[in-house]
Structures are given as structure tokens and as C-alpha cells.
Amino acid sequence: MQVGFFGTGIMGTPMARSVLRGGFPLAVWNRTASKYAQLVTEGATAPGTPRDVAASSDVLISMLVEPAHLDAILHGADGILAGVRAGSIFVDMSTRPPSEARRLAEIFAKHSVAVLDAPVRGGVGMAADGTLMIMVGGEKAAVARALPVLEAIGKTVIHAGPTGSGCVAKLAHQLVAVATVEAAAEALALAKDFGADQAAVREVLVNGATPSPLLKATSEKMVKRDFKPGQPLWVYMKDVVNMDDALAGTQRTYPVAQAAFERVRTLNETGRAELDQSALYTLLDP
């Protein structure tokens, strides 16, 4: 099964390397050629244009930051759609709103190509180890065909439902993550406001009913007031935008998530985007 990979940046490069390590022939493209040079020395090919990559691939993977970056290489004489093969599969592994997944599915359906939205959870280290969690939306048959490639990239692959469901699952995960950080901030602010020992209260939190690696890490940083970035706040801004997109035109509200995301927006708009996510605490205790 030949794999084509678009976007060999910070996350894309180790993910593409995992594809190679899994034994799949790999063709790569990036608008900056130097970013895939090392992959070529490791066995990948670089046909030259997105069209050439698409023409030679059974499974196409995109790991581009913005939808506009993908749109820029979809169309035109050298674009993906000019070379894509009927019966192939296009997998978008970037974090997108569900509407974007549905839009891509409509575009590729005209070329008899199945689309999977498959955002990932995990950072560069997990990408390098091939242990990412991958949340997939799309037709079951397409997921089954692409599964060997996805399993080379991630340790856990979860089919969340039809087109757009991978994006929904990623947004749901981020909803819980940001709510966890905000809840930890409020709990520790409560401890300080009423004279309790914050470090002791933190021990209660991490050993109580809702322990998690995220709660443990962020609450420790809050107690120490160490807001040097592990995961910077700006990472959540894509989720803020995706939540806004998902809710546009609906009457639905998700009060906890929307309130927490609004607090993320506040820190980003006041010049604190580079601080760690635990800096949500500073809105309660400057």
C-alpha cells in the first residue's frame, strides 16, 4: 500500500517516519523541500508536486496547520485533485471543525475518493514513538482499509462514527481537558482564599475521585506558580475556533466548555498565549 504524506512539519515528520517504519512505501510533499530532506535519506520519495504524490498513492495523509494550506494544494494543474486516483483514501489528520471534514468529503466524493477525518492526541514525543491516539470519522470500509497505516502512526485508533466524528471526538477531548485545567485552578484558588494549604489540597485532588495526568501536572504548576510552557495556551485557540464553528447556526450551548474556552481566549487576547495552560489560574489569582 503506497502512502502519500503532505505536511512534514513538527508533527508531520515523525508521523511520516512512523509510516516508513511500518514498512509502507512513502511519497512526501511539503512547500519547503528542506523539511522532508531527511525523510528522503531514510527511504521516502519526493515526486515533486502534490499531483505527483496523489497519482502514486493509495492512501493520502494531510498534516497541514490550516484548512487554507490544504486548499492551496488541492486545486490547479499540480494539485492533489488533478492526480488523485479513484478508489484511494484521503486522511486529514489535522485538527479541524466537523464542517471542514464534511466539506472535504464532498469534494473528494466527486473523484470517487473516500475521506477520513483523523485528528490526533499527543505531542511530538508520542508522534516519534508511534503512540498517538487517533480519532477517526468516516465510512467503516474506508477505516478498515486505512487501518494498517493508521496503526503504524498511533497506538490507539478509535472509529468515532461517520464523517466529522473524528473532529467531534477531538473537540470533546479538548473540552474535558480545558475544563479540567479550569476546575483545578478554581479548586486551588478556593483553597487559598479560605486559608487552606494549597499543596495539601492538591494532594486531595490528585488522589481523589478524578485523578488524571493532566490534573496532576497542571495543579503542580499552579501551586508552584510555574507557568513556563509545557503545553502553551495558544494550542487551545484552535479548539475555541472549532467550538464556535460547531455551534454556529445551532441553538445548543455547552456552558462549562464555552466558559472555559472563553477564559482561554481572554489570556490569549491579553498577551499571555505563550504561557502554560496552567496559567488559567492567574485569572483567579493574579
Considering the domain architecture, whether residues 154 and 38 belong to the same structural domain is answered as yes
Give the whole-angstrom CA distance, residue 44 versus residue 257: 42
Residue 209 and residue 232 in one domain: yes
Q: What is the CATH number of the domain that holds 251?
A: 1.10.1040.10
Q: Which helix (H) or strand (E) holds 134?
A: strand 132-137
35 is catalytic: no
Active-site pick, 110, 155, 170, 192: 170
Q: Comparing C-alpha atoms, which of 187, 186, 190, 130 is closest to residue 157?
A: 130
Q: Are residues 47 and 11 part of one domain?
A: yes
260 and 239 share one domain: yes
Count: domains in the chain: 2
Provide the residue range defining the domain that includes 270. 168-283
Is the same domain home to 221 and 154? Answer: no
Domain shared by 20 and 146, yes or no:
yes
CA atoms of 15 and 21, how far apart (whole Å): 10
Residues 214 and 259 in one domain: yes
Residues 102, 211: one domain? Answer: no
Residue type, 128: A
CA–CA dist 225, 142 (Å, integer): 47
φ/ψ of residue 94, rounded to 5:
-80, 165
What are the pLDDT tens digits along the chain (286 aa)? 999 999 999 999 999 999 999 999 999 999 999 999 999 999 999 999 999 999 999 999 999 988 999 999 999 999 999 999 999 999 999 999 999 999 999 999 999 999 999 999 999 999 999 999 999 999 999 999 999 999 999 999 999 999 999 999 999 999 999 999 999 999 999 999 999 999 999 999 999 999 999 999 999 999 999 999 989 999 999 999 999 999 999 999 999 999 999 999 999 999 999 999 999 999 999 9
- Which residue shows C-alpha cell 487554507? 68
Ranges assigned E (strand) in 30-128: 59-62, 89-92, 114-117, 120-121
How much is the pTM? 0.93
Same domain flag for 95 and 228: no
